Amino acid sequence: MFGKLSWQAIPFDQPIPLAAGAGVILIALAVVVWVVVKGYVPYLWREWITSVDHKRIGIMYCLLAVLMLLRGFVDAIMMRTQQAVAFHAGGYLPPEHYDQVFSAHGTIMIFFGAMPIVIGLMNFVVPLQLGVRDVAFPTLNSVSFWLTASGALLVNVSLVVGGVCPYWLAAIPAALRTSLLARGGC
């Protein structure tokens, strides 16, 4: 079921990604427990998670974009702190982890920060400007949001488990990647 994913993929020897991953898991569990205890699950399921309303999907795109922009901002702070601390020493991040953070920062800010905010605003505003009740394919619109959210989750999980391809190798086509891989890429 998990393919080649095993316990060896979890970076027990690197404290920063391990602590970040554990912190995110604990916060996510706390939010899920809070939602269940407060009884918001039926409302969230009925009104937001399964919604095909273009305004709600636009709001969810914008919320995802804000969350990912905050995540990218944390990466930017980590990179600037690494540069400030690493005067003559190596800093607090190993070089390969710095490269992964750099690549994850760029990927998250472009694909899960800038694009979802534009798509969310278009989802919200364009049908209202045209005077139509909804978009042409509302279910496809909902599926596209949940695929975007799943992609954001997978990119964030890959930074902790397995690592992100450095130097933007994950964003270029596989045909162009072969020479870079031969030189020690991801």
Digit-coded pLDDT (tens) for 140-167: 999 999 999 999 998 888 777 766 666 6
Q: Each residue of 111-126: pLDDT tens digit?
A: 999 999 999 999 999 9
Domain of 166, in residue numbers: 52-170+182-186
Question: Residue range 103-116: average pLDDT?
Answer: 91
In terms of domains, do 23 and 56 share one? no
> Which has more pLDDT, 151 or 175?
151
The pLDDT of residue 185 is 54
Higher-confidence position of 104 and 176: 104
Q: Is residue 57 part of a domain?
A: yes
Kindly state the average pLDDT of the residues 133-140. Answer: 92
State the pLDDT at residue 179.
Answer: 59
Label each residue of 137-161 as H, E or C. CHHHHHHHHHHHHHHHHHHHHHHHC
Q: Are residues 63 and 145 in the same domain?
A: yes
Question: In this structure, is residue 177 part of a structural domain?
Answer: no
Residues 41 and 121 in one domain: no
Which pLDDT band holds residue 175 (cuts at 50, 70, 90)?
low
Co-location of 65 and 103 in the same domain: yes
Rounded percentage of the chain residues whose pLDDT exceeds 70:
84
The pLDDT of residue 18 is above 60: yes
CB 123 within 8 A of CB 58: yes
Say if residue 130 is in the same domain as residue 62: yes
Q: Is the pLDDT reported for residue 59 higher than 70? A: yes
* 152: region left, alpha or beta (phi > 0 left; psi from -120 to 50 alpha): alpha
Do both 28 and 67 map to the same domain?
no
Both 71 and 147 in one domain: the answer is yes
Q: Where is pLDDT greater, at 18 or 122?
A: 122
| 77 lies in the same domain as 42 | no
Count of domains for the chain? 2
What are the φ and ψ backbone dihedral angles of 91, each rounded to 5 degrees?
Answer: 80, -165
Whether residue 123 sits in one domain with residue 60: yes
Pair 70, 120 in one domain:
yes
Q: What is the pLDDT of residue 182?
A: 58
Residues 30, 57: one domain? no
pTM to 2 decimal places: 0.81
DSSP annotation of 162: T
Rounded CA separation 54/142 (Å): 8
